[in-house]
Each structure stands twice: as C-alpha cells, then as structure tokens.
Structure 1
Amino acid sequence: MHDIAIARDFSEVPAGRFERDGPFSGEAFRERHLKPALSAGQAVVNLDGTEGYGSSFLEEAFGGLVRRGYFSASELHKRLKIVSRDQALVDEVWEYIDRAKNPSAN
C-alpha cells in the first residue's frame, strides 16, 4: 500500500490541469505519483495540508486515471482510498472518478 500525502509528497499549492499550466498540475501529480502507486497495487491519498484545490486539478488527477484508460472506476474503488478531514472534498474526487469515461471502452 502506497501512502501519498499531496502536501508532503507533491506540493502545498497544487494548481492547474495540465503540465503546461505548471509543475504542480493535476496531470503531473497523476503521472508522477498516482499512476505509478496504483500500478504497483493500492494507494491511500491524503488531501489535507494544501492551500486548496481547483476542480481542474482534481478532475485531471483522478478522473484522468479513467479517461486515459489506466484504470476503470470500479478498479479505483478497490485500489484507491482518499482521505481528508473535509468529506465534501473526498466526495468530489469520487464524483470525478465515477463520471469519467474512457473513450476507448466500448
């Protein structure tokens, strides 16, 4: 089980959707931290300790796992645990995952 704290392991100020938006974007987090951890097994992601999250960061980091075809939403429900003192934030992340569609999965 991989333990990832975004504030500790990535940035206290995550922002942006794509890497062209800056080094602490959702795409960068997904590709450098989230995808490798989940590819190796299971992961716990702690959202606490940052200055906040934009929806573009969260959707790209988490919804992008499904949209890119790395994992299905059902796989992520088994492999990924999201933790935060803010339950609404946790729920938001799961909404992005559950709404994401893999365009090649037909």
Structure 2
Amino acid sequence: MTISILSDFNESPGPRYCKQGKASGEEFYHKILNSKFADAIKSKQKLQLNLDGTDGYMSSFWDEAIGNLVFDFSSQKVNEYLEIISKEEPVWKELIFKSIIPEWEERRIKNDTPKKTSQNDHKAWFRLVNGQLEQKIWISSSVV
C-alpha cells in the first residue's frame, strides 16, 4: 500500500489547517491518510508514504497530518504500520519519527484533542478505540 503526495494529493502541499489554504495537512489527513492507514491496519500491511517530487513542505503540514494519525491510532501503531519514503529530503523522515510522533503521543495520552477547521468539514474518520477501529465524526471542543 502506497500514498504518493505528488500523485495522490498535491504537487504543492499547503499549511496546517484547511481554513489557512488549500492542500493543508488537515485536508490530507482527513481525505487520504486516515482511511489508508486504517486499511493498512486491517490488512496488516505497512503503508508507504512517499514524500518525494513535491514543491516542498511546511513543517506544520506534517505536524497536523502525522499528529492526527498518532492521536487517532497511537505512536505504537504508527511506528508499526507507517513507512516514510523521502530520498529527496530525508530530514522530513527524521522530523516525523523523532519529533512529531513522540510529541503527539504525549498529546494523545493527555487527551489534548487536535483542533479542526469545523466539525462539519470532514466526513467520518477512523480512530482506534480499545483495540478496535471505529469510524465516526469525533466531536472536538477545539475548533479553529
């Protein structure tokens, strides 16, 4: 299973939140990454995320996309099922695994819910709850 940001999402990934501009990390997470990651868990296959070929990234894009992934599935599952491919900018892989994932695991443990542009902007998404995948619109008190 593979996601290529370039071919499956956008040549020019944008900011953190949908309301800040197009091709945001929040949009990528909710439109592509969440369901593909859930599929990887169901099929017990690694999900390869290819970062190469784009115009570049803002760190906030990855913080939002990967952060939500950790919040919804745990750092253990992300480390088990996510493989990052980045031959052009290996620094992104390092940032994701050494910084973003551990920071968001702390947030997940503290139940520091990620902000959403709007409760109505996203279709139901997956979250791992007590070892089971559940899909719904998860209510958040933090709306930006």
What's the TM-score once normalised by structure 1's chain length?
0.89
CA distance in 2, matches of 1:29, 1:63: 12
Aligned counterparts, 1:1-106, within 5 A: 2-41=1-40, 42-67=46-71, 70-85=72-87, 86-94=89-97, 95-100=99-104, 101-102=107-108, 103-104=110-111
Aligned-pair identity in percent equals 33
Gap runs ≥5 in structure 1: none
**What is the CA deviation profile of residues 20-59 of structure 1, one whole-angstrom value per residue up to 9, with x for unaligned ones?**
1123000000111110001111311000011111011010
Moved over 2 A (4+): none
Task: Point out the structure with max Rg over C-alpha.
Answer: 2
Per the alignment, in what secondary structure is the counterpart of residue 45 of structure 1? strand
Structure 2: stretches of 5+ with no match in the other structure: 41-45, 113-144
Distance 1:56 1:89 in 2: 12
Count of matched residue positions in the alignment of Structure 1 and Structure 2: 102
Classify the secondary structure of the residue corresponding to 2:62. Answer: helix
2:124: which partner in 1?
none
Is the deviation greater in 44-53 or in 16-25?
16-25
